[in-house]
């Protein structure tokens, strides 16, 4: 049996939460390996809706959840999320949730920097959540981060806070924002230590033992390939690497252990916040997709921009993300549309491109090249086999396979967990 890594193949919000939840019923361990509480997964289970940002989705299925070292952890957000899901009846404690001792913490100063920078950008805002994820990753690579393990060493913690604040407060002053006092942050973190440290351990050891014992590990990605800090539509991206390769470094396991890579894509395209979006629809069809798909961000609450399926972008995500199979979600949102379009490439001036260029101006100037397909009049909602789908819906999915150069191995036809068509079991490799 193979492990499975789930990543987004568009700009996030593809329905990864449902797919991970569906797969988690057959996994033993579910691991978050990058990002922070700027990502959200919505799970609908037995009529109950769970909105998760930091907690691995497998906890809803009673599985062991692991937050890897590649995740940046806001301790307040994590503890609040734990209390919220406990209020919904989930048991969450050190016995079923483990946090990498070398995972980095997001502090209040990081969120303040994030918001101050975004405000200073004015009309050129990137569209960050303002939750401090970017500044926290900056401190990580700048070697001034506060990590979970530092909470057990008050003397080390005080020294590290001095180092961090020398940098952060200088930036806040330049942005006209209030600064932070070392002693206030130190007292806050020492008060949090008894609540966080019971969850901490070298999770790489636990994952190595699980792998050697033949247990199934599911790696749960956040955001998506086109938001990857290297491979996405930079600078309108997240602050971490979102491709499948990051599962290894972000959890502390061998690259070969990431297993089968499943990419999640909606049957159309959405994006939250600023940045290029070649297939965006600002007309009644775009409004219809947003209304039917309930397109509001789990974390931000902002309405998502909607457009036609961009096969050229997803094909690129397949190549750089290491995607071996595609899970196509929200097919039912397209029910009843007389005509559908698939973007097969772009025009950039006199050039024809089959990929998203790296340059910011070039990305903004892309014009989609469309292929038109006939829609279907029947319903796909709740379908659990190919035979349940209208013929044109099957043709649509098959054409996507051809264009993105990856098989559709799983098809989701509603938010409900069991409304899923499985063509290939990812755990079989």
Q: What is the pLDDT of residues 385-414, one digit of tens each?
A: 999 999 999 999 999 999 999 999 999 888
Q: What is the pLDDT of residue 146?
A: 97
Protein fold of 4-99+201-260? Adenylosuccinate Synthetase; Chain A, domain 1 (3.40.440)
pLDDT at 298 over 60: no
228 carries an active-site annotation: no
Q: Which member of 21, 37, 41, 419 is catalytic?
A: 41
Q: What is the pLDDT of residue 122?
A: 81
Protein fold of 265-428? Adenylosuccinate Synthetase; Chain A, domain 3 (3.90.170)
| pTM exceeding 0.95 | no
| Assigned CATH for 104-196 | 1.10.300.10
Averaged confidence pLDDT in the chain: 93
Mean of pLDDT values over 309-323: 97
pLDDT exceeding 90 applies to what percent of the chain?
78
Mean of pLDDT values over 29-51: 83
pLDDT exceeding 70 applies to what percent of the chain?
98
Q: What is the pLDDT of residues 219-259, one digit of tens each?
A: 999 999 999 999 999 999 999 999 999 999 999 999 999 99
Mean of pLDDT values over 417-421: 83
Q: What is the pLDDT of residue 124?
A: 79
388 carries an active-site annotation: no
Beta-carbon contacts of 189 under 8 Å, excluding residues fewer than 6 positions away, are: 75, 105, 107, 146, 151, 157, 161
Q: What is the pLDDT of residue 210?
A: 96
The domain limits of the chain are 4-99+201-260, 104-196, 265-428
Q: What is the pLDDT of residue 429?
A: 72
Q: What is the pLDDT of residues 152-188, one digit of tens each?
A: 999 899 999 999 999 999 999 999 999 999 999 999 9
Q: What is the pLDDT of residue 20?
A: 83
Q: What is the pLDDT of residues 346-369, one digit of tens each?
A: 999 999 999 999 999 999 999 999
pLDDT at 1 over 70: no
pLDDT at 301 over 70: no
pLDDT at 119 over 90: no
Mean of pLDDT values over 83-104: 95
């Amino acid at each position: 049996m193979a492990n499975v890594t789930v990543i987004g193949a568009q700009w996030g919000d593809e329905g990864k939460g449902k797919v991970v939840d569906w797969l988690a019923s057959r996994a033993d361990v579910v691991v978050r390996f990058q990002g922070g509480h700027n990502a959200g997964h919505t799970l609908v289970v037995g009529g109950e809706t769970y909105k998760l940002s930091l907690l691995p989705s497998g906890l809803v299925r009673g599985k062991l959840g692991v937050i890897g070292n590649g995740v940046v952890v806001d301790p307040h957000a994590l503890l609040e999320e734990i209390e919220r899901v406990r209020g919904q009846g989930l048991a969450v404690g050190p016995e079923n949730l483990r946090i990498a001792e070398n995972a980095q913490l997001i502090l209040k100063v990081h969120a303040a920097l994030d918001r101050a920078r975004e405000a200073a950008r004015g009309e050129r805002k990137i569209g960050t959540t303002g939750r401090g994820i970017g500044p926290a990753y900056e401190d990580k690579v700048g070697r001034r981060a506060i990590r979970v393990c530092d909470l057990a060493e008050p003397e080390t913690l005080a020294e590290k806070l001095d180092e961090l604040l020398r940098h952060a407060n200088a930036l806040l002053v330049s942005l006209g924002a209030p600064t932070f006092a070392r002693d206030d942050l130190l007292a806050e973190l020492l008060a949090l230590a008894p609540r966080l440290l019971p969850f901490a351990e070298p999770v790489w050891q636990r994952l190595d033992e699980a792998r050697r014992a033949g247990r199934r590990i599911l790696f749960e990605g956040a955001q998506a390939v086109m938001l990857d800090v290297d491979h996405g539509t930079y600078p309108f991206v997240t602050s971490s690497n979102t491709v499948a390769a990051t599962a290894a470094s972000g959890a502390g396991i061998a690259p070969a252990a990431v297993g089968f890579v499943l990419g999640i894509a909606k049957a159309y395209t959405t994006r939250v916040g600023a940045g290029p979006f070649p297939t965006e629809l600002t007309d009644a069809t775009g409004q219809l997709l947003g209304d039917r798909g309930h397109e509001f961000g789990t974390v931000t609450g902002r309405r998502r921009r909607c457009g036609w399926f961009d096969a050229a972008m997803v094909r690129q995500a397949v190549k750089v993300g290491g995607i071996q199979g595609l899970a196509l979600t929200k097919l039912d949102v397209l029910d009843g549309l007389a005509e559908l379009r698939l973007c097969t490439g772009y025009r950039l001036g006199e050039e024809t491109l089959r990929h998203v260029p790296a340059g910011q101006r070039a990305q903004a100037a892309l014009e989609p090249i469309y292929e038109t397909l006939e829609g279907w009049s029947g319903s796909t909602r709740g379908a659990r086999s190919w035979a349940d789908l209208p013929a044109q819906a099957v043709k649509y999915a098959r054409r996507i396979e051809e264009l993105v150069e990856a098989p559709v191995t799983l098809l989701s036809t509603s938010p409900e967990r069991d409304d899923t068509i499985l063509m290939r079991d990812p755990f079989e490799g």
